[in-house]
Amino acid sequence: MVPEDKLSNSGENHLISDEWLVSYAAGNLSEAKSTLVATHAAFHPVLQRKIHSAEAMGGALIEASETAEFSDGFYDRLVAKIDIDNSQDYRPMADNSSKTDPVLPQPLVNYLDRGLDELKWRYMGPGMRQVKLHSDSNGEKLWLLKAKGGTEIPSHGHNGHEFTLVLQGSYSVDGQLFNVGDMELASDDIEDHRPIISEGKDCICLVVTEAPINLKSITGRLFQPFIGL
C-alpha cells in the first residue's frame, strides 16, 4: 500500500504521484487502483516511462512488496531511482485486445473487453449515469461516470479516498479545471465536494471510491442504496 502521506497529486499537473507508480509496478495495488493507474498512464508518456523504469528494478520492488513495514524514507529513495532521463524510449501500454474505442485508452478497453456504447449505463441522478465495473470485499469500487455538460454533481463527502480520472470532457472543483487525462484525488477530509461539469460534451470519468460516498441531501441519501455508491 502507498503510505497515507504519499496520496496527493503531483503539483498542479493533476498527475498521480510517483509512489503510486512504484506500487503499481510492484503489483502492490488492488484491481481497481491498478486499472486506474494503467489507464491514467496511457495518457502520459512520462508516467509510462517511470512505470517501466520501476519495473526494471524488479528484484528490489518484489522484496519491497513482501515487506509489511517500510523503513523511513523508503519511498523517497525508491522514487528518486525511477526519476530518470525522460528522453529515453518507452513502450506503449500492453494491447491484448483487438477492440478499440475512440474515448477509452487501450488499457481500459482491454479491461472491459468492450467499448462505451456496449455498456449498460444506469441512472445516478439528473444528468448523470454510471456503470459499476468492479467491487472488492473491502468496499472499494471501480466505476464509470457519465455526466451531461453543465451538470452540478450533488454535494458530498467521503468516507475514504476518491480518485477521478477524466476520459472525456472536463469539470471544475473549487476553481481547478480537470481535463482529459487529469486525475483528481479527493481525500476523506473534504466535507463538501461539489464538481461542476463543463458545458459542452458529456464528461466521462473513471472513478475509484474506497468507501461509500457521503451524500449531503436527504433526497441523495434516500436514493443512495439504489445507486450502490
Q: Can you give the residue ranges of every domain in the chain?
A: 4-82, 119-227
Paired strand residues for 45: none
What is the reported pTM? 0.76
| Residue 125, all three cell numbers | 441522478
State how far the Cα of 198 lies from the Cα of 148, in Å rounded to an integer. Answer: 8
C-alpha gyration radius of the chain: 18
Q: Which residues pair with 209 in a beta bridge?
A: 141, 162
Q: Which of 194, 189, 169 has its CA nearest to residue 179?
A: 169
The Cα-based distances of 196 to 7, 79, 149, 178 in angstroms read 23, 34, 9, 10
Per-residue pLDDT tens digits for 61-116: 455 555 545 555 555 555 555 554 333 333 334 455 557 788 899 999 999 888 88
At 56 the pLDDT is 80
Q: Please report the pLDDT score of residue 185 as a whole number.
A: 86
Contact (Cβ atoms closer than 8 angstroms) between residue 86 and residue 52:
no
> Rounded distance, CA 55 to CA 197, Å?
36
* CATH for the stretch 4-82: 1.10.10.1320
- Cα–Cα nearest to 19, from 43, 44, 2: 2
Would the CA dihedral through 159, 129, 40, 112 be positive or negative?
Answer: positive
What pLDDT is stored for residue 116 in this prediction?
87
* Inter-residue contact 61 to 22 (CB < 8 Å): yes
* CATH 3.90.1150.10 is the classification of domain 119-227: no
Give average pLDDT by consecutive 10-residue segment, the chain, 229 residues. 48 79 90 95 94 75 53 56 41 53 88 86 89 90 94 74 93 91 80 82 93 55 43
